[in-house]
Structure 1
Amino acid sequence: MSEHILIAGATGLVGFAAMKHFAEKGYKVTALSRRKPFETFGATHIPLDLTDRDACAEAMSGMGDVTRLVYAALHEKPGLVAGWLEADQIETNRRMLENLFDPLEKSAPGLRHVSLLQGTKAYGAHVRPIAVPARENRDEMKEQPNFYWEQEDYIRAKQQGRDWRWTIFRPQIIFGFSLGAAMNLIPAIGVYGALLKEEGKPLAFPGGRGSVLEAVDADLLAEAMAWAGARRDAGNEIFNVTNGDVFVWRNVWPAIADALGMEAGPDAPLSLGKEMPNRAEAWDAIRTRYNLAAPDIDSFVGESFHYADFTMAYGAERETPAAIVSTVALRRAGFGTVIDTEEMFRKYFRLFQEKRLLPPA
């Protein structure tokens, strides 16, 4: 049977990577998002607001041959972190999935697989120290309200008695290619670095007393989704997914600085979420000077300056608890792709430079 992959959230980190992966493999791909992706790689793009139930019903009526859904759409609120605990953010994300999937399931009798995203907030990483390493189906914090549980319960209920399968992925900090995403640290760090470089300054580390973390390359995550969709024994399972190593921000900072053509500087704590929006005119001057294709600072970075503050532990005077998850379940199931996190940083900064979204190194 020929495959038709439907990607929801195609301008986000995961959706963009999944669209690229499947389209370059020659699959028929339909990409959904409110904004048009930076590139489509031959995929068909349909502009769609998933909060509009009628628009979703109309769009899904023409998706009768869809075989796989990658659901990577996400609603985040301004300021990002506070919204993770707010009821309306949870409700909106639940409703977006329902708006899309209710009509899709009715229209696509050949549906075989659904990929759904969660993350380490499933273990309460945003509100408490988590078990190290956190394991699937053992260390969840289901007493903490989270749209993950709303979406997971919905998909589990829908799947009862059906032939299609689902797989839930829980990545750690995701890095990849996207513009205006809520949680993409590559443009956030890139803009911060470009502003310092123009002033003749080194790349100072703006965070606080962080700890050991794990990253995941969005391309690796897309490969994992493709793998799961092709294997029945990966269906109806939950998998943590990471690059396969760990990192500490200060330890990778010299490599990041080098990728930007800079020297690593001393610690200089700074809330990027508060300060960087004030540098919009300076970023515009850099865009002009280097003839960049990058948009204005808000459209380019989205809410990711706030995410940088969170992940880099800005303001933390003590070392924050380690956030490490076990990927044993994924490895035992047969997915073994890994990437060195330092190489991943270099890869994405180089890509943003090649696309003229950041100044050349």
Structure 2
Amino acid sequence: MPSAIVTGATGILGREIVHRLGNNQKQWDSVYAISRRKGEEFPASVRHTFVDLFGSADAIAEDLEGARAEYVFFSAYVEKASEQESWQVNGDMLQNFLAALEKTGVAKTLKRVILVTGAKHYGVHLGPSKNPLQEADERLTQAPFPPNFYYRQEDILKAFAEKHPHVSWVVTYPNDVIGLAKGNFMNLATSVGIYAAVSKELGEDLAFPGSEEFYTMFDSFTDSKLHAEFCEWAALEPRAANESFNVVNGDVHSWQTLWPLLARKLGMKVKSDQFAEAQQKIKETELVEKPPISIYESELGLEGRIRRGKIQQMVDLVQWSKQPDVKQAWERLADREGLEKDALDKATWGFLAMVLGRNYNIVMNMTKARNIGWTS
């Protein structure tokens, strides 16, 4: 039976990959889970090791001494203030990690490396893209688009596979991930849950904090457990070799349905005219002047009709989280329900504001994976 190494083992996606492999001991002999911080208890077949991927290849190789693997799942990620910093740091992490595998001899036994990236590959953080998003879409490498560290990581991985012809690769593109990871709050479920719980504690209706336009538009979500299942399948599926894949739940959803459903679950209601004061309350941030879809505008017959993307907020979530009444409400909730008191401060409110505030659709196509056998 094969062994695996999983990086980013305490993150929202890496954690589920570790559990998926660790709980399938008939398929996986052992799993080496590596991270920079301590997480929860993993299944018995999992060996959790603390490895600093910021280190040199030599330092990483020393920390990986004794690890063996035929498959690697690389899901480590570090958020940085600028796109250039993200390009440098996240690219260097992967490059040094792969070099470390060469130094330890693991590269000789490797069969496949699965690289976890995201829909940021398509520039969804920059503005409207051509929908649906498909794996064959062009990279955004020309000005005015900023560096995209996912491109650098993909190129590093492909160069490694060319150097080691017995190694194949797979890249995944999840989007707006929903899952569980203790201490990791770049997660829709956590941030939305805190926002809703505090609103209820304050006796308020559940007001949608994002864009009125996006409220009735469409988004694609990725359940972290489904993504882990996909990664295991893609690692072992011969036809998945040397391919990249969108990985979303397969359905397309809209907050116009999800938001009232969430309100009912919590015994709350959505105000019937929640956007009535939109013009007075809205905070708006313009994205890049030429959005990703602009590279296709002539081909699509949309020349001169492409609009700039915006992030629109009915509620400034970063400022909301700092309000005294919000902090006091969360403290009451945390004391009463046994919750982590620092969760309010750790939640990534800027991330949630971006996800809910976009004024454009994000629809991801799963045809490529389904054509080679993915059915979940």
Query: Same-fold call, TM > 0.5?
Result: yes
- In structure 2, the residue matched to 1:323 is 362
* 1:271-293 Cα distance to aligned partner (Å, 9 max, x none): 2233214444532331111123x
Query: Which of 37, 40, 50 is the equivalent residue of 1:38?
Result: 40
Q: Residue 68 of structure 1 contacts residue 113 of structure 1 at CA under 8 Å; is this kept in 2? A: yes
- In structure 1, the residue matched to 2:184 is 181
Query: Which of 63, 72, 76 is the equivalent residue of 1:59?
Result: 63
Instruction: For 1:265 and 1:114, locate their aligned partners in 2 and report how far apart those are by CA, in whole Å.
Output: 48
Letter aligned with residue 95 of structure 2: E
Q: Which moved more, 1:99-108 or 1:153-162?
A: 99-108
TM-score, normalised to structure 2, is 0.80
Q: Residue 10 of structure 1 contacts residue 16 of structure 1 at CA under 8 Å; is this kept in 2? A: yes
- In structure 2, the residue matched to 1:297 is 343
The correspondence of residues 273-292 of structure 1 with structure 2, limited to 5 A, is 273-278=318-323, 279-292=326-339
Q: Residue 277 of structure 1 contacts residue 297 of structure 1 at CA under 8 Å; is this kept in 2? A: no
Q: Residue 131 of structure 2 contacts residue 363 of structure 2 at CA under 8 Å; is this kept in 1? A: yes
Q: Which moved more, 1:22-31 or 1:237-246?
A: 22-31
Q: Does 1:137 align with 2:136?
A: yes
CA pair 135-256 structure 1, distance change in 2 beyond 3 A = same
Q: Does 1:104 align with 2:101?
A: yes
Q: Residue 60 of structure 1 contacts residue 100 of structure 1 at CA under 8 Å; is this kept in 2? A: no
CA pair 47-98 structure 1, distance change in 2 beyond 3 A = same
Q: Cα offset for 1:106?
A: 3.6
- In structure 2, the residue matched to 1:5 is 4
Instruction: For 1:232 and 1:16, locate their aligned partners in 2 and report how far apart those are by CA, in whole Å.
Output: 25
Letter aligned with residue 166 of structure 1: W
Q: Cα offset for 1:86?
A: 2.5
CA pair 274-69 structure 1, distance change in 2 beyond 3 A = farther
* 1:153-183 Cα distance to aligned partner (Å, 9 max, x none): 1110110142121100111211111133352
Q: Which moved more, 1:212-221 or 1:103-112?
A: 103-112
Q: Residue 61 of structure 2 contacts residue 103 of structure 2 at CA under 8 Å; is this kept in 1? A: no
Q: Cα offset for 1:39?
A: 3.8
Letter aligned with residue 196 of structure 2: G
Letter aligned with residue 78 of structure 2: H
Paired residues, number: 321
SS of residue in 2 equivalent to 1:312: helix
Q: Cα offset for 1:197?
A: 1.6
Q: Residue 201 of structure 2 contacts residue 329 of structure 2 at CA under 8 Å; is this kept in 1? A: no
Q: Which moved more, 1:105-114 or 1:268-277?
A: 268-277
The correspondence of residues 45-84 of structure 1 with structure 2, limited to 5 A, is 45-53=48-56, 54-63=58-67, 65-77=68-80, 83=81
Q: Alpha carbon RMSD of aligned pairs, Å? A: 2.0
SS of residue in 1 equivalent to 2:169: strand
CA pair 94-275 structure 1, distance change in 2 beyond 3 A = same
Identity rate, percent: 31
The correspondence of residues 194-205 of structure 1 with structure 2, limited to 5 A, is 194-205=197-208
Any stretches of 5+ residues in structure 2 without a counterpart? 276-313
Q: Residue 187 of structure 1 contacts residue 300 of structure 1 at CA under 8 Å; is this kept in 2? A: no
Instruction: For 1:325 and 1:234, locate their aligned partners in 2 and report how far apart those are by CA, in whole Å.
Output: 18
Q: Residue 116 of structure 2 contacts residue 172 of structure 2 at CA under 8 Å; is this kept in 1? A: yes
State which structure, 1 or 2, has the greater radius of gyration over its C-alpha atoms: 2
- In structure 2, the residue matched to 1:253 is 259
SS of residue in 2 equivalent to 1:203: coil
- In structure 1, the residue matched to 2:92 is 95
TM-score, normalised to structure 1, is 0.83
Q: Cα offset for 1:262?
A: 3.2
